[in-house]
Amino acid sequence: MTATKRATDTATRTTTGRRRRAVRTGTAALIAGAVASGALAAAPAQASDRDRDARGGGHAVTQRAVEAMVAGGVPGVTVTASDADGVWKSAAGTGDLRTGKKRGANDRFRVASITKTFVATVLLQLEDEGKLSLDDTVEKWLPGVVRGNGHDGRKITVRQLLNHTSGIYNYTDDPAFARKYLHEGFLKHRYDTVPPAYHIKVAMAHPPNFEPGKSFRYSNTGYVLAGLIIEKASGTSYEQQVRERIINPLKLRATHNPGNTHHMPQPSSRAYSKLTPDPTATKVHDVTVMNGSQGWADGDIISSAADLNRFYKALIRGELLSPKQLTAMKTTGPEGYGLGLFKTETTCGTTLWGHSGGAAGSLSDALTTEDGSRQLAFNANGDYDVTPASFQRVVEAEFCGTEPGTPPKATTDAGADAHVLRTGRG
C-alpha cells in the first residue's frame, strides 16, 4: 500500500470546547518497544472546508496531533475527548488500506490492557461486598494453580496480582508464545481458542521474576489469575461480572467481552501489524480477525473511545467504587501504578489517571483528570511507525494545547505501559 492510498481525515465535532490546559507525560512508555521502520509513511492528512470549520475550536491542536501520527506512518487514529462542554469525536487517516475507507470517529477496537481497569474494579466491588479480600492469598481461591519453578500462590495476594508486584512470570514474555501468537505464527494461529489454563501453564514453566512484594514488573498472567478469582468468588463468569457491574449500568453500548469469537463488531476499522519486532520489516498484515480468548481478563475487551471516556469518568468520580475502594485503587507504588490504574503528573501540572493497551494492530490510551472533568481516549489501528513521542503529543495537544511539532519533555513512566509494544500485547 503506497502513501497515496492513505485516506484523508474525517472529523465530527458535536460541541464547541475550550482549549485544554494539562498534558500527560506517561503515554510515551506505552510505545517503547514496538516502534518499527518508516515503511508505509502516510501523506499528511488533508481536510475539507467543513472539517476545518469543525476543528476550529478547542480541539484543533488535538486534531493536528492525530494527523501527525498518520503522517508518521500509522494507518489511522480515532479519538474522543469529553469535558463540561460536551463530547468531541474525530478521526484521521485510513481505516481500510485495501479499500481506502477512512478511519471512523465511532470506531470500536480491541482495547487490550485497558481491560485491566475493568477487572480491578470488579474485584474491588467484590471486596466491598465481603465476598473476598484483596489480602487473600491466590492459593485460597485457586489452590495448587500457582506452583512450579519457584512460584507459590500461598505467598502471593490478590492485591499483588492487581498492582504487578506478585513476581509471577508474564506469559507474553515467553519466546515460544510470542512467536506463535504475537509474531510470525499469528496468522496461522489467530483462530485458536486459548484457555486461561494455557496462559498460566506457560508462566509456570519459568521462574518468578522476584519474591512477592519485593519489586514491580508488569504481568499479564496476574490478570488471568484475577479473572479466575472473580469467577470463584462470584460463582459466575468474569465476562458476566463485567457486564452486570460496569457495562450495563453505564450503558456502554459499544463495549463487550468477545469470548472466543473472531470478528470485530461494526462500526470498526481494520487493524494492521508487521508481526515482528524487526525494525527493518516492511510487509504489513491485516490482523483484524483473531480469537478473543487469546487475551481474556488481561486484555480482551472491545470498546470505543467514547465508552472508555464514560467508564473512566464514572470510575474516578466514585460512581463504581466506594471511597475506600477507590482510594485503594489509586494507591500507587513508585512506578505510578495502583490497582489496574496508572497515575501520571503532566508537564502542565495536572494529575491524570487511566490505562493504555496494545494488541496486534491496535494501540490505545484512555485517561481522565483527577476530578473527572475531562477525558481523552484514542486508538491507532497499526502497531508500527509509532513513537513514544507521537502518543504523548496527542495527550499534550488535548490537555495543554501544545502543538504536535513541539519537542516533548522526557518522561520516566515505567511499569505497566512500557511492556505493551515491547511484546506486542499489553
For the chain, the structural domain boundaries read 3-111+258-423, 117-244
Domains 3-111+258-423 and 117-244 share a fold: yes
| 39-64 per-position pLDDT tens digit | 222 323 333 322 332 333 579 999 99
Instruction: Say if residue 19 is exposed, middle or buried (CB neighbours under 10 Å; 0-12, 13-18, 19+).
Output: middle
Strands 285-286 and 108-110: unpaired
Beta bridge partners of residue 337, listed in sequence order: 342
User: Taking each helix axis from N to C terminus, what angle separates 115-128 and 305-316, rounded to the nearest 10 degrees?
Assistant: 30
Beta bridge partners of residue 86, listed in sequence order: 83
| Mean pLDDT computed over every residue of the chain | 86
* Backbone dihedral region for residue 147 (phi beyond 0: left; psi -120 to 50: alpha; all else: beta): beta
Domain spanning 117-244, CATH architecture: 3-Layer(aba) Sandwich (3.40)
| 227-277 per-position pLDDT tens digit | 999 999 999 999 999 999 999 999 999 999 999 999 999 999 999 999 999
Confidence of residue 409 (pLDDT cuts 50, 70, 90): low
Stated pTM of the model: 0.87
Q: Which residues have C-beta within 8 Å of that of residue 301, sequence separation ≥ 6?
A: 110, 111, 114, 115, 118, 242, 255, 256, 257, 258
CATH number of 3-111+258-423: 3.40.710.10
Distance CA 286, CA 360 (A): 9
Give the DSSP H or E segment for 286.
Answer: strand 285-286
Distance CA 119, CA 146 (A): 19
Cell numbers describing residue 351? 494529575
Distance CA 264, CA 281 (A): 26
